[in-house]
Amino acid sequence: MSNIDIDRLLNPISDESPVGNDARYEFCYEMMEAEVKKFGSLFGETVDWNVVKTNAMEVLEHHSKDLKALCYLVRALAEESGLKGFDQGLK
């Protein structure tokens, strides 16, 4: 199970904009979403939850305190480590 430095994710993005800006057009956000879209794909693609986790953390730490990115991070932690990961994501 990976250890997430929650303090880094909770720090404000900047003094001017503590929650950041819309991150939907940031590369890391698009990578995160593209990976999640593989879930349930008719083409049998597998989601790389580590890619989701890494990019969700990038969004939350450097771009925006985005709720969707947070939900994807929790899901990635759950996929990676089961209930222990889910518990870590909720803390």
Q: pLDDT for 51-66, tens place per residue?
A: 999 999 999 999 999 9
In a domain, 18, yes or no: no
User: Model pTM?
Assistant: 0.85
In a domain, 85, yes or no: yes
Query: In degrees rounded to 5, what are phi and psi of residue 20?
Result: 80, -165
In a domain, 16, yes or no: no
| Helix axes 27-36 and 49-62, enclosed angle (nearest 10) | 150
Number of domains within the chain:
1
Domain of 35 in residue numbering reads as 6-11+23-90
| Helix axes 49-62 and 67-90, enclosed angle (nearest 10) | 110
In a domain, 48, yes or no: yes
CA 78 to chain centre: 12
Separation of alpha carbons 47 and 36, rounded Å: 6
In a domain, 17, yes or no: no
How high is the pLDDT of residue 43?
80
In a domain, 71, yes or no: yes
Separation of alpha carbons 49 and 84, rounded Å: 15
